[in-house]
A and B are shown apart, each in its own frame.
Chain A
Amino acid sequence: MYASLNEYLIISGLLFCIGFAGVILRKNIIVIFMCLELMLAAASLTLVAFTRFKPFQQEGATTTLPDYDGQMLVFFIITVAAAEVAVGLAIIVALYRSRQTIHTDDLDALKG
């Protein structure tokens, strides 16, 4: 028994919402960061799912290989996310060094 596209999308949506809720509600920046990753994962999952369920090109095509564009994109996302985590964590460490906190309520220097 295979899962259909809908199941993938629902799970991906749920993941995204959990991630978004975490980003908005949690106060610890590291947790927020993890939730952000969750949202990225949700997006990746959607891409993969769409690729998987996209019908093969039939007419005017010389090959019958599936379209892997979405999955390619996911690799990129994973790579970029890894880089982003590195930079992000570095910023958080720098922030912690200067402010002695990573609690978002204490970080309101943007207030107008």
Chain B
Amino acid sequence: MELAWFLFILPLASAIAIHFVLKKRPCLSGAVGTVVTLAALVVAFFIRGAQSELGFNWISLGNFEVNIGFVIDKLSSNMMLIVTGIGSLVHIFSLAYMKEDKAKARYFGNLSLFMFSMTGIVLSSNLVMTFIFWELVGLSSYLLIGHWYEKHSAGDAAKKAFLTNRIGDFGFMIGILMLWSITGTVNFSELAANPPAATCALSIAVFMIFLGAMGKSAQAPLHVWLPDAMEGPTPVSALIHAATMVAAGVYMMARVFLVIGTDVISTLGSVEAIAWIGGITSLLAALMATQQNDIKKILAYSTLSQLGYMVMAVGLVNPDAGMFHLYTHAWFKALLFLGSGAIIYACHHDQNIWNMGGLLKRMPITSLTFIFGTLALTAVPFTAGFYSKESILHAAKDQGSYLLWVALGVAALTTFYMFRLIFVAILGKAKHKHSEDAKEVSMLMLAPLVILVIVSALSPFFSDFVPLPELKEIDFHVVPHFGDKLVLFSIGAFVLGFIPALLLYAGKTKDPLNIPLFRNKFYIDEIFGHIIKWGQDILAAVVHFLDEFVINGLLVGGVTRSAQGLGNLFRSKIQTGNIQTYAFMFGIGIAITIYITVFA
């Protein structure tokens, strides 16, 4: 048996054990989940290198086969490191963060379930298997967002996440079916061996597959679930809704582009649409982030915005750049989310940044790690985010696309909203009792933060660990070249974002800006609410009415009633019960009979 199977078996066994055996032993289940994830991390280190295994036939019928197997190449094995690495840190962080939670066992069981499903996506050897685990991460995400299901908002957010993803999966499945019809296989290895020709059908199929990524990676207009998903526990937000699961869309697109071949893909019309959807998402999300007050919401919108970047890079047929950004982003965004988790924990679960402030003094280590994460996210030179963002800007520039300007605008906005967050929540004076009481969190929470700082600082330089689909090396000597005009532009974008943030927000206790359009997220949720209300609920009510009254009432009821009416007619007019009527009928009958027998 290959070592890689342990990546599946370990978390699955842990999930089953916790859910069915250890439900009453919360501390033990936390320990089991954490140890298992660490073990998976170790396994992930050892399986690097190219191999693949068929696994077992999941469905086989004549020439139609679906296998459960795995593919290990540079792309998947390094993605696996991200998943298990961040997974381990999040588990450790959760041990402290969820200490007082009553349903700790359920939490860790679902985390293990997530680790299992995510492993499936990463190592998947074919599109159907990807889809299977795609749905399963959706389930674990649903369960974890709805962890505090007694809160109506959590239940609603979980449901919204699942349903929005289902809409994406609707397209994903159509895409898989079309690709299967075109090529006759869903296996990555067979697809790579016989890449399809660039046709219109292929173009549609690729876009349909992208719809799946749009749901999971929360691209506009299916992005609405991700900010709401912040109802879940913060470590979950770090693991699932920032670093790994939401990046699965980008990963899957990179995988598909890789097997079909970027030369075929780049001739398809639909990829440009993909790039623009990414660009628009990143711009919209950055604008929305500038006016949010909930620390997790700000980070959620920033995740959206960065995912938009990655999708844009993929759409520009440069999956290398997208995957590189995915990789660096995973570490520093996990750092930011876990940092925000520590802050929220210290502030008694108050998430409003206008109730924070002065945290640098009270929780210095957390604050410093948070600031480090911010620097990486805003692409300060020589931080991780700088390199990956540069590579995306290069991708846009190489294509001569207007998306370059969108990307630069987003970079400026990112700096603006992240430093707004720093100035309001970390620096300045404490604005509320909650932040005055804040104390530095325990070692168990700090350790993952510090480790993440180190990993994310070093991440771009271990190019061996960077999950690049095309097995290219990033040339780090070219990118931070200050003679390069692009670098000047991106530094300019940083300054353009930083200065307004400094001027507007340093030392403020109230938000000086009020842009309702951004604050209310372009009213997209309201619009969707109305669409769902009118397009679905009202339609459902109308259809139900029609079903009840037209089909059941008029058609079926009509048949019944006409039968009944006819019966009643006979009953009242002919079968009167009066003996004389019967006699009269009898007489007529006799007369007719006689007429027929005698005269006819």
Given a CB threshold of 8 Å, the question of whether A touches B is answered with: yes
A residues near B (Cβ < 8 Å) are 20, 23-25, 27, 32, 104-105, 107-112
Is B59 located at the chain interface by the 8 A CB criterion? no
- Residue from A24, A27, A105, A111 having most chain B Cβ neighbours under 10 A: A24
Q: Do A112 and B575 touch across chains, with their CB atoms under 8 A apart?
A: yes
Which of B571, B575, B583 interacts with A23 by CB under 8 Å?
B583
- Determine the chain B residues whose CB is within 8 A of the CB of A25 once the complex forms: 580
Task: Tell me the bound Cα distance from A107 to B579 in angstroms.
Answer: 8
**A and B contact pairs by CB, cutoff 8 A, 16 listed:** A23-B580, A24-B580, A25-B580, A27-B580, A104-B578, A104-B579, A105-B578, A107-B577, A107-B579, A108-B577, A108-B578, A109-B577, A110-B577, A110-B582, A112-B575, A112-B577
Q: Do B579 and A110 touch across chains, with their CB atoms under 8 A apart?
A: yes
In order of increasing CB-CB distance, the 5 nearest A-B pairs are: A111-B577, A108-B577, A110-B577, A112-B575, A24-B584
Task: Tell me the bound Cα distance from A110 to B582 in angstroms.
Answer: 10
- Determine the chain A residues whose CB is within 8 A of the CB of B364 once the complex forms: none
Is B576 located at the chain interface by the 8 A CB criterion? yes
B residues near A (Cβ < 8 Å) are 571, 575-580, 582-584, 587
Task: Tell me the bound Cα distance from A110 to B579 in angstroms.
Answer: 8
Q: Do A24 and B587 touch across chains, with their CB atoms under 8 A apart?
A: yes
What's the dominant secondary structure at chain B's contact region?
Answer: helix
- Determine the chain A residues whose CB is within 8 A of the CB of B578 once the complex forms: 104-105, 107-108
Given contacts A24-B583, A27-B580, 14 further A-B contacts (CB under 8 A): A23-B580, A23-B583, A25-B580, A104-B579, A105-B578, A107-B578, A108-B576, A108-B577, A108-B578, A110-B577, A110-B579, A111-B575, A111-B577, A112-B577
Q: How many Å from the CB of A33 to the closest CB on chain B?
A: 12
- Determine the chain B residues whose CB is within 8 A of the CB of A111 once the complex forms: 571, 575-577
Residue of A nearest to B579 (CB): A104
Q: How many Å from the CB of A37 to the closest CB on chain B?
A: 15
Q: How many Å from the CB of A26 to the closest CB on chain B?
A: 8
Task: Tell me the bound Cα distance from A107 to B576 in angstroms.
Answer: 10
Q: Do B571 and A112 touch across chains, with their CB atoms under 8 A apart?
A: yes
- Determine the chain A residues whose CB is within 8 A of the CB of B577 once the complex forms: 107-112
Q: How many Å from the CB of A66 to the closest CB on chain B?
A: 27
- Determine the chain A residues whose CB is within 8 A of the CB of B583 once the complex forms: 23-24
- Determine the chain A residues whose CB is within 8 A of the CB of B579 once the complex forms: 104, 107, 110
- Determine the chain A residues whose CB is within 8 A of the CB of B580 once the complex forms: 23-25, 27, 32, 104
Residue of B nearest to A36 (CB): B583
Task: Tell me the bound Cα distance from A24 to B578 in angstroms.
Answer: 10
- Determine the chain A residues whose CB is within 8 A of the CB of B582 once the complex forms: 110
Task: Tell me the bound Cα distance from A110 to B580 in angstroms.
Answer: 12
Q: How many Å from the CB of B571 to the closest CB on chain A?
A: 5
Q: How many Å from the CB of A107 to the closest CB on chain B?
A: 7
Task: Tell me the bound Cα distance from A107 to B581 in angstroms.
Answer: 12
Task: Tell me the bound Cα distance from A57 to B575 in angstroms.
Answer: 50
- Determine the chain B residues whose CB is within 8 A of the CB of A108 once the complex forms: 576-578
- Determine the chain B residues whose CB is within 8 A of the CB of A112 once the complex forms: 571, 575, 577
Q: How many Å from the CB of B594 to the closest CB on chain A?
A: 13
- Determine the chain B residues whose CB is within 8 A of the CB of A109 once the complex forms: 577
- Determine the chain A residues whose CB is within 8 A of the CB of B584 once the complex forms: 24
